[in-house]
């Protein structure tokens, strides 16, 4: 799978979606309204209590926007592809993918690239820019680089976790319930980690590294202390993304190598 072939697939997907452009744009509008509503709910909540664990509205907006923006980038290459993998394994239609002369994982995620996440990017990107402006941070070149690396890393973390969940289809066949669990756990990082108890903080740091998507990077940019990681470790945070993605890919390839066909 080359970059040239990927862009060719994207162009074909765009042509396919534009055959029903009304449905495509209505879906995007619905997503924009839905996520705008989420922001409004959080804003109203903070207006009632002024802050959450000492975090103000622009800081919470930054936190939530990084989470949503990186989810959109990562899920565009992994969510639908991994969610539908259960059905392909169960029905045996995955076999057609495995006989193609390309890396099956790369072909799967590129072929299923989801253009619908444009809505997520528009909403979260707009609020992210506003939050960074409202916070009036003194930016250095290193901080800008850190923010870019954070966004890339966050997208890779979510891709890696979704890929890992999808790979369980090769072993258990049924994996849909794990995606529901993914979204329920991901809801925790919509708020600052100190809101939750020590157990949740440890879980989201050392077991399921959701906190590395937005909380630790945002804390570093905002010069906030964290309970579990020191400032010296913050520059290692962007490494979590490549590590998670690589681990997810390795597990997926391990699973596909064990795949023996429908009912195998």
What's residue 235's pLDDT?
85
Q: How many domains does the chain have?
A: 1
Give the pLDDT confidence of 26-60 residue by residue, as tens digits.
Answer: 888 888 898 999 899 889 988 888 888 889 999 99
Block means of pLDDT (10 residues each) for the chain, 264 residues, are 68 72 80 90 86 91 96 94 90 84 87 86 95 90 93 97 94 85 93 92 94 94 86 86 96 89 56
CA separation for the pair 33, 17 (Å, rounded)? 21
Tell me, yes or no, whether 110 lies in a domain: yes
Residues 148-180 have pLDDT tens digits of: 999 999 999 999 999 999 999 988 877 888 999
In a domain, 234, yes or no: yes
The tokens 């193609």 sit on which residue?
100
Q: Domain range for residue 248?
A: 3-258
**Can you give the pLDDT at residue 13?**
73
At residue 130's C-alpha, the angle toward residues 122 and 60, to 5°, is 95
Whether 15 is in a domain gets the answer yes
Evaluate whether 153 touches 241 at the Cβ level (below 8 Å). yes
Residue 264 lies in a domain: no
The verdict on residue 206 lying in a domain is yes
180 vs 237: CA distance, rounded Å:
26
Cα 103 versus chain centre, distance: 23
Mean pLDDT of the chain: 88
> Residue 225: which region, alpha, beta or left (left: phi > 0; alpha: psi -120 to 50)?
beta
DSSP conformation class of 204: I
pLDDT of residue 98: 85
Task: Name the nearest CA neighbour of 215 among 244, 184, 191, 243.
Answer: 191
Count CA atoms closer than 13 A to 54's CA, side-chain side: 8
- For the whole model, what pTM was predicted? 0.90
DSSP SS3 for 55: strand
CB 176 within 8 A of CB 83: yes
Burial class from Cβ neighbours inside 10 Å (0-12, 13-18, 19+) for residue 257 reads exposed
Determine the pLDDT at residue 263.
53
263 lies in some domain: no
């Amino acid at each position: 799978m080359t970059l040239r072939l990927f862009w060719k697939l994207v162009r074909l997907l765009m042509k396919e979606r534009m055959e029903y452009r009304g449905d495509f744009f209505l879906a995007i509008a619905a997503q924009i309204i839905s996520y705008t509503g989420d922001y409004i709910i959080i804003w109203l909540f903070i207006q009632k209590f002024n802050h959450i664990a000492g975090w103000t509205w622009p800081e919470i907006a930054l936190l939530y926007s990084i989470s949503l923006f990186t989810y959109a980038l990562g899920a565009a290459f992994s969510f639908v592809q991994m969610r539908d993998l259960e059905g392909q394994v169960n029905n045996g239609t995955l076999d057609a993918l495995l006989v193609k002369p390309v890396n099956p994982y790369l072909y799967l995620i590129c072929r299923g690239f989801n253009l619908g996440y444009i809505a997520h990017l528009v909403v979260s990107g707009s609020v992210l820019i506003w939050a960074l402006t409202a916070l009036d941070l003194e930016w250095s070149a290193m901080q800008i680089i850190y923010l870019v690396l954070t966004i890339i890393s966050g997208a890779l973390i979510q891709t890696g976790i979704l890929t890992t969940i999808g790979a369980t289809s090769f072993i258990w066949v049924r994996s849909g319930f794990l995606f529901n669990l993914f979204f329920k756990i991901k809801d925790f990082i919509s708020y600052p980690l100190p809101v939750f108890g020590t157990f949740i903080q440890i879980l989201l740091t050392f077991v399921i590294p959701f906190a590395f998507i937005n909380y630790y990077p945002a804390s570093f940019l905002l010069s906030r202390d964290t309970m579990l990681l020191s400032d010296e470790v913050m520059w290692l945070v962007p490494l979590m993304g490549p590590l998670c993605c690589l681990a997810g890919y390795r597990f997926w390839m391990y699973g596909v190598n064990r795949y023996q066909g429908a009912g195998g």
